[in-house]
Structure 1
Amino acid sequence: MPSLTDVRFAEIAQEVACDVLTKSQDDDNILKLQEISREFVSDTITVPTKEMNAYALRASLGDDVYFEPSTALLEAHVAKVTGKEAGLFLPTGTMSNQIALRTHLQQPPYSVITDARAHIYRMEAGGTAFHSGANSIPIIPDNEHHLTWEDIEARIVSGTDVHVAPTRIIALENTLNGTIMPQKDVLEISKNAHTRDIIMHLDGARIWHVAAETGLSMKELCDPFDSVSLCLSKGLGAPIGTILVGSKSFITKARWFRKLFGGGMRQTGYMVGCAAYALTHNFPLLPRVHALARRMQQGLEELGVGILSPAETCMLFYDPSPIGVEYWEIVEGAAQLPQPIKLNGSRLVMHIQTSPQAIEDFLELIRTLKEEKAAAGWKPENAPPKKKTLFRDVYVKAVRPA
């Protein structure tokens, strides 16, 4: 007869047991993949395929805080491809960027120069100030496309004035909002920065797109930088992960900070297996993604829609006001299609699982809305005066008037 302890343990075990699968989970996953193929919200929404999962499940089973064989192989591979000495696998791009800054910055005071649109400055919850105690110097490029040395030089803080924080790092981002930073400008900034003992960091979350579009090797793109953060879940389609690369001493210290930040992970084999599959099988798909983005831009322009930022790689920003349509009308109309399309404003992002038909359906929706406006008496001369849109304001959320 079971003891009272055994009975009580069985009750606790029943309480603890958890099943996160629905009765129709396999069918649900198929439907989710179909939904994702019709979402223009981000390229982070892609999901592992059966083929990716099958490869990843064969990866090693080590503990990465101690040593994980598959993870070590991935880190070494990405370091080699980018021309750096060592690499470190991290769960997110934000953690990768912030650990890179914290590792480079030693004794305050110091400041970090960024583009005013940069993810490090705008989208990492103030991490540069919180984690590193560093001042950020955001710069608006004069050309409204990318930073140049002329933009940066005048904003560098140097000298011994105790009122200011000297510039220790220039952090660039490529791509930035889908746009490519010309390599000649990267090289010029790097050369001048290094002559002043200023460190160069690259948020290369979508640097894979730059290589695919320009034909420049990953090493060429990363050579100007002391450290580079390369996302594996944006664009490439891995479910999680970023690789930070740099010198051996830099990565040794960064690994320490990874643990301090709470980013030391255990059995990472499956995650890096997905990443390795993505590098091998999904990177070659990026030119197709760029072609889809260009098709989207072409179709919008043919309908008279304004383009705020063109499709240089995987995304573009558009303005429907020239045809009398507002963003919220498009978002609501897209959600009501027989096969709904999901978007949230001016940014349209294509990814490796985007359906070409979704683009055509979206363009047809815009055409329909345009015709409805015309039928209701709207005319092009009713369009609001075209005003210069600041580059940093191209990301417009769709909000329905109250």
Structure 2
Amino acid sequence: MPSVNGTDLNAKRAQVAAQVKCDILTATQDADNDAQRISIGRSFISDTITAPTTEMYAYALKASVGDDVYHEATTSAFEAHMAQLTGKEAALFFSSGTQSNQIALRTHLTQPPYAVLCDERAHINQYEAGGTAFHSGAHQVGVQPSNGHHLTLEDVESRIVLSEDVHVSPTRIISLENTLNGTIFPQDEIIRISKFAHSNGVKMHLDGARLWHVAAETGTSVKELCEPFDSVSLCFSKGLGAPVGTILVGNAEFIRKAKWFRKLFGGGMRQIGVLTASCAYALNNHFPLLPAVHALAQRIEQGLVDLGAVIWSSAETCMVFYDPSPLGLEYGEIADRGAALPRPLILGGSRLVVHIQTSTEAAEDFLELIKTLAEEKKAAGFVYVKPAKNVNGARSIYVRRKSKV
């Protein structure tokens, strides 16, 4: 029997094994998961909270078990499908949209000085922790769309830098986003910008995290939507409900270099067949659900309009931005009252996000909550006058009566 200083080695090994044991599942894990799924169906915070279904898991468990740094069969098949679907030469799987966007930009950018032009509201500008500056050392120029909805060629022309003057940082990439805040970027305007960019040697990248919504709503093929761009990033963990995953597509040389950067940044992954299989399941089974998602978002919008709230950004796809102040309401009190319901609603600020697991009941309960709160305010002396037509950018007329002494 092996021993160390007279102590049985097997006993020590058993002691270490006992120390490393870890049981992170609760005694009621299945019931907890069911409760979580119900909660997800009543949350309007984001579409990133969607949970994998048992059917998705069952499909994913059949995936191959290779190492993707070397070769993973399920992942390679999925990447090949995505390249074909988008009309590009190659595709590469990433763990997140931020990682995909940032490595796309880094791959396009070769020799500084350089700049990236985008909508000032874009995810790469607002929500990627300054990654363009950190990872690529690039100047990022956020442009405000003059129409309040989407960038136009004229907006781009007013801010793009094509000069080689030593005082400036030339624009090397135009990065667009579709959808942006749930709104659809008109394809004809994208084509105008793309033709201008390519005629001046400027690359085009698309943050298409929610491009699936555009294809589902407009009936436009994914290939056509991607055609104006040199690279496109598409997410599966938002609107399509996969647990993890984004794909980056482009030409073969671009993807070869992007894979190198992915490894450099620690993004090379191992047995990820279960992840890419989940994404494939989402394409097969969840993409067809998106038109119903849009219809439910439009139902919420119309209900808010009928109650007298102002719509800041319409439900072109899965999001509604609203202002409840004409009803005398604030976002905080709406969220608090929603959370206090017998079946709580999870609400944030002005943005309402509908996803494939949002229940119709939750949408109706939200509208009923707004109605109830508005009636309470009215009973307390608050009066609003609803305008004849409530459109984007319009504000209802509202006044507060002085309380009786």
Alignment TM class, shorter chain as reference: over 0.9
Shift of 1:381: 6.5
Match of 2:403 in 1: none
Shift of 1:160: 2.1
Mapped partners of 1:381, 1:247: distance in 2: 56
Specify which of 328, 337, 342 is matched with residue 338 of structure 1.
342
Mapped partners of 2:141, 2:87: distance in 1: 29
For residues 240-272 of structure 1, give each alpha carbon's deviation from its aligned partner in whole angstroms, at most 9, with x where no partner exists. 000000000000000000001111000001001
> What secondary structure sits across from 2:190 in the alignment?
helix
For residues 1-40 of structure 1, give each alpha carbon's deviation from its aligned partner in whole angstroms, at most 9, with x where no partner exists. 7852111111111110101100000000000000000000
**Are residues 1:209 and 2:210 paired?**
no
Mapped partners of 2:296, 2:16: distance in 1: 53
> What secondary structure sits across from 1:178 in the alignment?
coil
- TM-score for the superposition, normalised by structure 1: 0.94
Match of 1:11 in 2: 15
Aligned partners of 2:116 and 2:175 also within 8 Å: yes
**Are residues 1:282 and 2:286 paired?**
yes
For residues 348-392 of structure 1, give each alpha carbon's deviation from its aligned partner in whole angstroms, at most 9, with x where no partner exists. 000000000000001000000000001111112699xx9x979xx
Shift of 1:184: 0.5
Match of 1:319 in 2: 323
Match of 2:144 in 1: 140
Structure 1 stretches of 5 or more lacking a match?
391-402
**Are residues 1:347 and 2:351 paired?**
yes
Mapped partners of 2:177, 2:317: distance in 1: 14
**Are residues 1:362 and 2:372 paired?**
no
Match of 2:397 in 1: none
Mapped partners of 2:353, 2:385: distance in 1: 30
Number of equivalenced pairs: 387
Match of 1:117 in 2: 121
- TM-score for the superposition, normalised by structure 2: 0.94
Report the RMSD for the aligned CA atoms in angstroms.
1.6
> What secondary structure sits across from 2:159 in the alignment?
coil
**Are residues 1:91 and 2:95 paired?**
yes
Match of 2:63 in 1: 59
Match of 1:36 in 2: 40
> What secondary structure sits across from 1:379 in the alignment?
strand
Amino-acid identity (%): 64
Q: Residue type matched to 1:16 in 2?
A: V
Match of 2:110 in 1: 106
Mapped partners of 2:93, 2:369: distance in 1: 42
Q: Residue type matched to 1:261 in 2?
A: F
Specify which of 228, 234, 239 is matched with residue 230 of structure 1.
234
> What secondary structure sits across from 2:343 in the alignment?
coil
Match of 1:396 in 2: none
Match of 1:184 in 2: 188
Mapped partners of 2:163, 2:140: distance in 1: 17
Q: Residue type matched to 2:24 in 1?
A: V
Q: Residue type matched to 2:259 in 1?
A: R
Match of 1:263 in 2: 267
> What secondary structure sits across from 2:167 in the alignment?
coil
**Are residues 1:375 and 2:379 paired?**
yes
Aligned partners of 2:211 and 2:234 also within 8 Å: yes
Specify which of 45, 48, 51 is matched with residue 47 of structure 1.
51
Mapped partners of 1:38, 1:219: distance in 2: 34
* 1:302 to 1:35, Cα distance in 2 relative to 1, 3 A: same
Mapped partners of 1:214, 1:110: distance in 2: 35
For residues 171-216 of structure 1, give each alpha carbon's deviation from its aligned partner in whole angstroms, at most 9, with x where no partner exists. 0000000000000000000011000000000000000000001111
Q: Residue type matched to 1:107 in 2?
A: Q
Mapped partners of 2:70, 2:361: distance in 1: 47
**Are residues 1:302 and 2:310 paired?**
no
Aligned partners of 2:52 and 2:243 also within 8 Å: yes
Mapped partners of 2:343, 2:101: distance in 1: 38
Aligned partners of 2:308 and 2:386 also within 8 Å: no
Match of 1:163 in 2: 167
Deviant stretches of 4+, over 3 Å? none
Structure 2 stretches of 5 or more lacking a match?
395-405
Q: Residue type matched to 1:366 in 2?
A: I
For residues 297-356 of structure 1, give each alpha carbon's deviation from its aligned partner in whole angstroms, at most 9, with x where no partner exists. 011111001101000000110000011111111000000000000011110000000000
